[in-house]
């Protein structure tokens, strides 16, 4: 819940040094193992269709399993039963918050498979694409199995919501972009950068309100930081068409004694400034908290951006974007349609995680603990699956010959509130059928309630690839105690524990996997003590570690052999994997 999250994150910042010393008193770093019945004997690359035409990709909603038509309940509002009792109600609003009772868009909005999300090499949105399964781009030459800092960039901090915010926070993933030559020329990068096909730019909106632009190889600034004055906590998105456009929303509207208007921002990376956007304090929203932690998806084929907000709305934005590389100009003229919904459990409202997309179906968890599926074309709610508590971690989608599936998990949050709240309780990790919302399996683990820093699943899971393609990995905070965490590998078919590592220091940072040039798979994980782990995903044990300064709450991204992540020490790190 964002109104609590703000002090929560703060507590982690102020207590960082104490947390390290207290957690150091615990020697718990134990891996327990179970059977691994589905270990791959050979690995294959999943087939990809390459289809991008929304008309051919879009699923017909009446053809979905168990489909029932929605019920009109008056005033342009519709409802349908949820997966496990109760009804969800929704309506579609136009740009002026008038209800659109019979919303009929000009054409379908549907995403292709994850391999065709972007035309540009790199990591251009949170976890790389519409399946949210690619925080690392390319292969990594791992020989020494070590991590080494090769550059740093100092950042700043802000004071807001009675708290101190520093460096890069949750989800705070950098964007790593290997721009087309014409885009580099239009942005006025150096001739050496324009001529270098391997040049990659780091674009990193962070807590001090700046968007940093850096050379991945050297850490040198490619352009002056874009200053907005108000914090970014979530992850931005770069336009996947290679247009020099950055989309990123405010995480806080206060900086010391200065208070601003909630804002979702669109940046022109040629002029290096904000050129468009919209307010988060929306009169049509069910909640008065206008932050945007979600990392947008852009459907390139239809020029459409989808952005869930913490005010309880989902924004569907026709960008009307245009890029003329020769003229060195880029422009946008956003037009909005909005989804408003509510359930019997809806008291908080708002989505903090980033939406995943399978064709025209989109998925996200909300602050009331609902997993919500909606149609990107018509903005009708397709199904809702209640989880029992706040769900902030971004959902990961798996596309299989048997159909699409979702991996998700909730927190120990709502159940701990108030005088009668619990000090701990089970958090639920789930695999769901993406077409129906029905549970395939669940795994539960006890987590501590902490009003300042949530226990449970805050980190986005990662799907195994290659030699660990039978597994899915979850980094779960505050299991066993308020300071410890668990890194768990579960069998993707059954949810059974293959290995479980009890960590002395919990984490909110999302783990990632690397594909080595040697054919092996390697894992990376950051924790609240500032320790970066390079681990074996087959066993959970570390190959090596690198101690950074203070809490690694942000999620890293990797391009080739370079990893970038920010910490609470007010530093961005460029780290070579060798």
Q: How many CB atoms lie within 10 A of CB 187?
A: 23
**Rounded CA separation 387/395 (Å):** 13
What is the pairing mode between strands 157-160 and 221-227? Answer: unpaired
Closest by CA position to 533, among listed 547, 521, 519, 516? 547
**Rounded CA separation 429/447 (Å):** 12
Q: What is the full per-residue pLDDT of the chain (578 aa) written as tens digits?
A: 333 343 333 333 333 333 333 333 345 799 999 999 999 988 777 778 899 999 999 999 999 999 999 999 999 999 999 998 899 999 999 999 999 999 999 999 999 999 999 999 999 999 999 999 999 999 999 999 999 999 999 999 999 988 889 999 999 999 999 999 999 999 999 999 999 999 999 999 999 999 999 999 999 999 999 999 999 999 999 999 999 999 999 999 999 999 999 999 999 999 999 999 999 999 999 999 999 999 999 999 999 999 999 999 999 999 999 999 999 999 999 999 999 999 999 999 999 999 999 999 999 999 999 999 999 999 999 999 999 999 999 999 999 999 999 999 999 999 999 888 999 999 999 999 999 999 999 999 999 999 889 999 999 999 999 999 999 999 999 998 999 999 999 999 999 999 999 999 999 999 999 999 999 999 999 999 999 999 999 999 999 999 999 999 999 999 999 999 999 999 999 999 99
Quote the Cα angle for 365-367-368, to 5°. 95
* % helix, strand, coil for the chain, step of 5: 10, 40, 50
Coil, helix or strand at residue 20: helix
> What would the two tokens of residue 43 be?
């690995």
**Rounded CA separation 245/242 (Å):** 8
| pTM above threshold 0.85 | yes
**Rounded CA separation 323/244 (Å):** 8
**Rounded CA separation 298/279 (Å):** 19
- Extract the runs of DSSP E, i.e. beta strands, from 451-529: 455-456, 462-463, 471-477, 485-491, 497-503, 512-515, 521-526
Q: Are 173 and 236 in contact (CB under 8 A)?
A: no
What are residue 161's DSSP bridge partners?
A: none
**Rounded CA separation 253/264 (Å):** 11
Closest by CA position to 83, among listed 436, 442, 440, 441? 436
Per DSSP, helices labelled H in 127-273 are 181-187, 191-195
Q: Are 464 and 513 in contact (CB under 8 A)?
A: yes
**Rounded CA separation 348/270 (Å):** 39
pLDDT in tens, 256-309: 999 999 999 999 999 999 999 999 999 999 999 999 999 999 999 999 999 999
pLDDT in tens, 168-220: 999 999 999 999 999 999 999 999 999 999 999 999 999 999 999 999 999 99
Q: At 145, give phi and psi (nearest 5°).
A: 55, 50
Q: Are 175 and 240 in contact (CB under 8 A)?
A: no
CB neighbour class for 563 (10 Å; exposed up to 12, middle 13-18, buried from 19): buried
Domains belonging to the chain, first-starting first, are 2-577 (2.130.10.10)
Q: Are 3 and 452 in contact (CB under 8 A)?
A: no
């Amino acid at each position: 819940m964002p109104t609590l999250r703000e002090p929560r994150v703060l507590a982690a910042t102020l207590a960082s040094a104490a947390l390290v010393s207290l957690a150091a008193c615990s020697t718990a770093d134990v891996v327990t193992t179970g059977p691994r019945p589905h270990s791959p004997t050979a690995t294959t690359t999943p087939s990809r269709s390459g289809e991008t035409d929304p008309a051919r990709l879009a699923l017909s909603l009446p053809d979905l399993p168990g489909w029932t038509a929605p019920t009109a309940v008056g005033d342009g509002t519709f409802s349908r039963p949820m997966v496990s009792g109760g009804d969800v109600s929704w309506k579609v609003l136009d740009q002026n918050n008038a209800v659109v009772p019979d919303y009929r868009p000009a054409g379908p909005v549907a995403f292709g498979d994850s391999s065709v999300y972007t035309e540009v090499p790199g990591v251009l949105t949170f976890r790389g694409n519409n399946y949210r399964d690619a925080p690392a781009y390319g292969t990594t030459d791992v020989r020494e199995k070590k991590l080494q800092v090769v550059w740093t960039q100092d950042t700043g901090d802000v004071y807001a919501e009675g708290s101190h915010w520093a460096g890069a926070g949750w989800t705070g993933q950098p964007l790593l972009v290997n721009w087309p030559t014409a885009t580099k020329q239009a942005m006025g990068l150096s001739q050496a950068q324009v001529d270098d096909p391997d040049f990659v730019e780091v674009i990193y909106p962070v807590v001090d309100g700046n968007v940093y632009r850096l050379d991945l190889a050297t850490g040198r600034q490619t352009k002056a930081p874009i200053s907005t004055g108000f914090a970014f906590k979530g992850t931005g998105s770069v336009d996947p068409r290679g247009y020099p456009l950055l989309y990123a929303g405010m995480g806080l509207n206060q900086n010391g004694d200065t208070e601003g208007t909630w804002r979702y921002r669109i940046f022109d990376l040629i002029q290096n400034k904000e050129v468009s956007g919209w307010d988060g304090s929306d009169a049509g929203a069910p909640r008065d908290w206008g932050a945007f932690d979600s990392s947008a998806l852009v459907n390139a084929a239809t020029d459409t951006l989808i952005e869930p907000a913490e005010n309880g709305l989902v924004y569907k934005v026709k960008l009307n974007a245009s890029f003329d590389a020769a003229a060195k100009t880029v422009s946008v003229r956003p037009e909005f349609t909005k989804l408003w919904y509510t359930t019997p459990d809806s008291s908080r409202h708002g989505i903090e995680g980033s939406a995943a997309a399978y064709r025209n179906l989109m998925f996200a968890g909300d602050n009331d603990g609902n997993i919500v599926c909606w149609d990107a074309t018509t903005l009708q709610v397709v199904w809702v699956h209640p989880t029992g508590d706040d769900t902030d971690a971004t959902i990961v989608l798996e596309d299989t010959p048997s159909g699409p599936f979702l991996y998700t998990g909730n927190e120990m949050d709502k159940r701990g509130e108030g005088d009668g709240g619990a000090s701990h309780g089970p958090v639920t990790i789930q695999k769901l059928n993406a077409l129906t919302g029905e549970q395939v399996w669940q795994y539960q683990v006890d987590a501590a309630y902490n009003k300042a820093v949530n226990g449970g699943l805050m980190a986005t899971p990662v799907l195994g690839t290659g030699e660990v393609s039978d597994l899915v990995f979850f980094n779960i905070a505050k299991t066993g105690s308020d300071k410890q965490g668990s890194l768990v590998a579960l069998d993707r078919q059954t949810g059974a524990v293959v290995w479980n590592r009890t960590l002395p220091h919990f984490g909110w940072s999302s783990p990632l996997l690397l594909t080595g040039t040697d054919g092996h798979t390697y894992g990376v994980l950051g924790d609240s003590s500032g320790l970066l782990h390079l681990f074996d995903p087959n066993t959970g044990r570390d190959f090596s570690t690198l101690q950074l300064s203070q809490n690694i709450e942000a999620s890293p991204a990797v391009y080739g052999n370079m990893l970038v992540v920010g910490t609470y020490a007010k530093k961005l790190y460029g780290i070579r994997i060798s």
